[in-house]
Structure 1
């Protein structure tokens, strides 16, 4: 299974590159550097908004960034993917969230636009204390009807009283957007993601590979959450982290150790010369 040619490697952030304490293990840092020095190209492939990626992640010097669950991609400083969610889908989802008092956020071209209840439930203040330079990337929604910048993706929490599940939201918004379980704080039961139909990390992986003239057989995807399913299925080799969801593990070619047990480093060391 070891790749012998220069390879494109697509790496999820939360639960894959970042461990459960939201730090990059030194083993992962070293293996990423070694892989790049060997001629392989490494890409962040995250559900996060482009402007919501932690500075320590960017400082690793990745060759490109896929963000917003595949709706945006940057390569050599150029935006090569910039998908927009239809305004009708944004309106329908917003109306549903308001009607059910659900905290929600929209991933936009200028960062995250979130309700105050979403910000509080996420605990964003802890993150902004660690990385104060990111404060300009977060905007509080005070008027639910106010125009938004172009929307690439959405994130929401289900009601804390258990009155709705992610599956309920999926049924209600069918036809407007793709709804999947989210990966906030390693829990996928109380939060979900709103994706543009037909847009995911797998489609982004294909577009980046085509842009660089690299066959899919020479690609690797490594992730842990349901939003990683398509890229793990699309890549030449799909790797699920040991801490990944059962759905991701079921489609992977290889299962790496847990993220807290040097899982990413182990996968890169095994697959890349």
Structure 2
């Protein structure tokens, strides 16, 4: 039995709202062959719905390790401390940086942030039909945001910083990396200067440990497939790591193998080469 940990956006799930048929068939067949399929994503649990659930995952690691669900049961929840949350929210508000404050039960933001994202939706969906716009990942994400006035009072597990064309990612990383893990965002529609801020103690690798323990498995039986910077802890932890063909070169350099891109049936080809199917 192998435990296969799959990133979502850019690996299994296209930002225009679908999982390739070849990936769905590969995952279902691998499960029939006795393997476990685990979704391991930076998305919060509430963001995993609709087309993303065309696969009945054996486990889900959401929020980059914050929420662990095995066999449809939540077995672990993690978050930033109140002190960490308040410091981070105060920094972002003071510098007028748009950001989504994410927890397992909601995504929260200021009105300024939501307005910034609505503008991005219009820009990125220009020329698309209403149906295509409705399925676009940025449209769906924006619709899930709850606008609140008391950001400083929230406890959350992750912040997604949005590119507003004013504050460079490098500046945010420089200001916060002594206290938090700051990486480039893995959801491309948020912009080139976007990023993700989490605890140094919570990541996809810690989520993997919990799932391996739950299934009484061994780390030598783990495979990780991804395309983003938040997949690097997963790559380091797994016995075998595979980068998607559409991953940045820096991610490919850290992987044991490289498969084809999402659009070129990368998951299917990786499963085939590993004799999972």
Q: Confirm or deny a common fold (TM above 0.5).
A: yes
**Partners of 1:121 and 1:27 in 2: CA distance:** 35
**1:216 equivalent in structure 2:** 219
Q: Quick check: 2:18–2:52 contact (8 Å CA) kept in 1?
A: no
1:34 to 21, 24, 29: 29
How do residues 124-273 of structure 1 correspond to structure 2 at under 5 angstroms? Answer: 129-130=134-135, 137-145=144-152, 147-148=153-154, 150-161=155-166, 164-185=167-188, 189-271=192-274, 272-273=276-277
Matches within 5 A, 1:21-100: 21-100=16-95
> Residues 52 and 112 of structure 1 are in contact (CA less than 8 Å); yes or no, is this contact kept in structure 2?
no
1:92 Cα deviation from its structure 2 partner: 1.5
How far apart are the structure 1 equivalents of 2:40 and 2:56? 14
CA apart distance, 1:226? 0.1
Stretches of 4+ aligned residues off by more than 6 angstroms: 124-128, 131-136
Contact 1:45 / 1:69 at 8 angstroms: preserved in 2?
yes
Q: 2: CA distance between counterparts of 1:221 and 1:102?
A: 33
Of residues 168-177 and 44-53 in structure 1, the stretch that sits farther from structure 2 once superposed is 168-177
**TM-score, scaled to structure 1:** 0.87
- Which whole-Å CA distance do the structure 2 matches of 1:108 and 1:265 have between them? 32
Q: Which residue of 2 aligns with 1:115?
A: 110
SS of structure 1 residue aligned to 2:214: helix
- Gaps of at least 5 residues in structure 2 are 126-131
CA deviations on 1:56-103 (whole Å, 9 max, x unpaired) are 112311111100011111012322221110112211111111122111
Residues matched between the structures, number: 264
Instruction: Render the CA deviation track for 1:101-158: whole Å, top value 9, x for unaligned.
Output: 111111113121123343344457989944999999531123434x32x411111124
- Aligned-partner SS, 1:65: strand
In 1: Cα distance, 2:191 partner to 2:30 partner: 31
d(CA) in 1 for partners of 2:248, 2:112: 27
1:236 Cα deviation after fit = 1.1
Q: 1: distance between equivalents of 2:141 and 2:172?
A: 30
- How many Å separate the matches in 1 of 2:109 and 2:48? 16
- Per the alignment, do residues 128 and 54 of structure 1 end up closer, same or farther by CA in structure 2, a change over 3 Å counting? farther
CA contact (8 A) 1:92 1:173 kept: no
Q: Determine if the alignment matches structure 1 residue 10 to structure 2 residue 5.
A: yes
The Cα of 1:220 is off from its aligned counterpart by: 0.6
Gaps of 5+ in 1: 1-5
Cα distance in 2 for residues equivalent to 1:174 and 1:92:
13
Structure 2 counterpart SS, 1:32 = helix
